[in-house]
């Protein structure tokens, strides 16, 4: 179970975040409102991710705490703040956080940001494109990624995936698909169907849908 440390000086906000995380199956290993408490909790409970408010009680702000944690531990840190002015943002990014959420944020945004931060941490911090749910695309390596599993794509499979991602949420019509992937050669319906089937399989049976007689799409 993913362990989350909440560092937040507003008790009501902290309780709301804790409740949301528990409903999503996360384990909240601590809730603290100051920098010293955050450092102690990191040492005690070894969280998988830290949610860090920028303005905290005590002598240290969230940016300073972030720098200290990053210097000692390899733990993703996501900033939570009510401030989005450029000075605050510039100070915050000096610590190279793994996410930045401006309050008020929705539960879905919080969960998605946590999952993406964890995914990047497990895979060495590379930039991944979300396909759907917990499936990502590593564009540089031409690989589909899910948790720690990686699946290589052929050139045509990668081209089809990138085409569908470029129109995410919309149907890519079969004639458009064929022209994009085989611009100079007529292609049989069976060839196109086989390519879609292979890509769907490599997406772990998720994400790619076929609209009979029309085309295919990846929902946004």
Q: What are the pLDDT digits (tens) for 10-22?
A: 999 999 999 999 9
- How far is CA 10 from each of CA 23, 56, 116, 138, 184, rounded to the nearest angstrom? 20, 9, 25, 38, 62
Q: Does 211 have pLDDT greater than 90? A: yes
Considering only CA atoms, which of 9, 5, 11 is closest in space to residue 56? 9
CATH 1.10.10.10: which residues of the chain? 129-218
- The pairing of strands 208-211 and 135-138 is unpaired
The CATH number of 3-122, from 3.40.50.2300, 3.30.2320.80, 3.40.630.20, 3.40.190.10, is 3.40.50.2300
CATH 3.40.50.2300: which residues of the chain? 3-122
Domain covering 129-218: architecture = Orthogonal Bundle (1.10)
Determine the average pLDDT of the residues in 145-156. 89
Q: Does 197 have pLDDT greater than 70? A: yes
- Confidence tier at 138 by pLDDT (50, 70, 90): confident
- Confidence tier at 121 by pLDDT (50, 70, 90): confident
Q: Does 213 have pLDDT greater than 90? A: yes
pLDDT on residue 190: 96
Determine the average pLDDT of the residues in 129-155. 88
């Amino acid at each position: 179970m993913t362990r989350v440390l909440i560092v937040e000086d507003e008790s009501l906000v902290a309780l709301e975040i804790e409740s949301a995380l528990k409903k999503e199956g996360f384990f909240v290993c601590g809730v603290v409102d100051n920098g010293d408490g955050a450092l102690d909790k990191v040492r005690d409970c070894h969280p998988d991710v830290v949610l860090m408010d920028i303005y905290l009680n005590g002598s240290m702000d969230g940016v300073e705490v972030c720098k200290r944690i990053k210097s000692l531990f390899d733990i993703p840190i996501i900033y939570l703040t009510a401030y989005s002015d450029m000075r605050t943002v510039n100070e915050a990014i000096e610590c190279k956080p793994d996410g930045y959420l401006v309050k008020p944020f929705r539960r879905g945004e919080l969960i998605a940001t946590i999952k993406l931060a964890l995914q990047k941490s497990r895979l060495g911090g590379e930039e991944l494109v979300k396909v759907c749910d917990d499936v990502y695309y590593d564009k540089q390596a031409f690989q589909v990624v899910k948790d720690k599993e990686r699946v290589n794509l052929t050139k045509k499979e990668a081209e089809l995936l990138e085409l569908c991602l470029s129109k995410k949420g919309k149907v890519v019509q079969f004639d458009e698909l064929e022209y994009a992937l085989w611009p100079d050669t007529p292609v049989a319906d069976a060839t196109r169907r086989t390519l879609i089937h292979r890509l769907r399989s490599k997406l772990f049976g998720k994400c790619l849908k076929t609209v009979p007689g029309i085309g295919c799409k990846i929902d946004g």
